[in-house]
Amino acid sequence: MRSVLATRYVTPLREGGSMPAVIEADDEGMYVLKFRGAGQGPKALVAEWIAGELARALGLPVPELVAVELHDVLALAEPDSEIQDLMRASLGVNLGLDYLPGSISFDPAVDRPDAALASAIVWFDAFVMNVDRTARNTNLLVWHRQLTLIDHGAALYLHHDWETAAERATSRFPAIKDHVLLPVATQLADVDERLSGLVTRALLESLVEALPADWLQDPFFDSADANRAGYVDLLLRRLAGRAGFVGEAIDAHARAV
């Protein structure tokens, strides 16, 4: 995970429940900063990283993700007390997404991606259990005419209850019926065959290895490494039982068209 230092707080993005912000960093880049001290806590950042980088490994378009170091001096310069409190609760390593200037929100009434891309995104979201790609909140941007996936903090929601995660890992994921791209996803069986072969233990282990240890403090595990192994096991179980969520998506598509 490439690291940058936050040097300037530009503006809050108040439409997000966790109040992310646009910041400038010491590499002169602009990023959408996701705070680990926000209400969803560091698990949202873990989901952002694992899902975002897994999507990239599958060939899906995702903004660059970076670790953002946040120091106290930036909080001291912020006049808004609510934002200052959030920044102080987030000192240390946070997560940033490359800011895409000029991007616009995906509009299903106007934009229509090709069936292969739509099917791949639906498959991916069913795999990582992302409940947050609906017509109401698409979490898709169009940038330079390219559909781009953002905001995966709601994925991997089983990690909020590790005691039952293993037995629920093969869920059919009925929430896929609300996916904004489901009506266009006509190639789900084909993309399942292609994408499932790209998800390997080695890939998953490389993704979780990059996670900062202080994002991994779930009391269910006795160490950060054990927590990392938990994510690998969860996703491998999900992959092994993918017939369930793929079948659910195919059935939901048939009902949607």
Nearest to 96 by CA among 30, 25, 31: 31
Prediction pTM value: 0.95
Look at residue 48 and tell me whether its pLDDT is greater than 80: yes
User: What token pair was written down for 248?
Assistant: 């659910």
CA atoms of 33 and 9, how far apart (whole Å): 9
Look at residue 16 and tell me whether its pLDDT is greater than 70: no
CA angle 234, 204, 173 (to 5 degrees): 40
Look at residue 18 and tell me whether its pLDDT is greater than 80: no
Look at residue 115 and tell me whether its pLDDT is greater than 70: yes
CA atoms of 72 and 74, how far apart (whole Å): 5
- Residue 50 burial by CB count (10 A; 0-12/13-18/19+): exposed, middle or buried? buried
With contact defined as beta carbons under 8 Å apart, do 208 and 234 qualify? no
- Write the single-letter amino acid at 69: E
Query: Rounded to the nearest 5°, which phi and psi values hold at 20?
Result: -65, 175
Strand (E) or helix (H) holding 118:
helix 115-127
User: What token pair was written down for 152?
Assistant: 């995966």
Mean pLDDT of all residues in the chain? Answer: 95
User: What token pair was written down for 160?
Assistant: 């909020």
Convert the pLDDT of each residue in 143-188 to its tens digit. 998 999 999 999 999 999 999 999 999 999 999 999 999 999 999 9
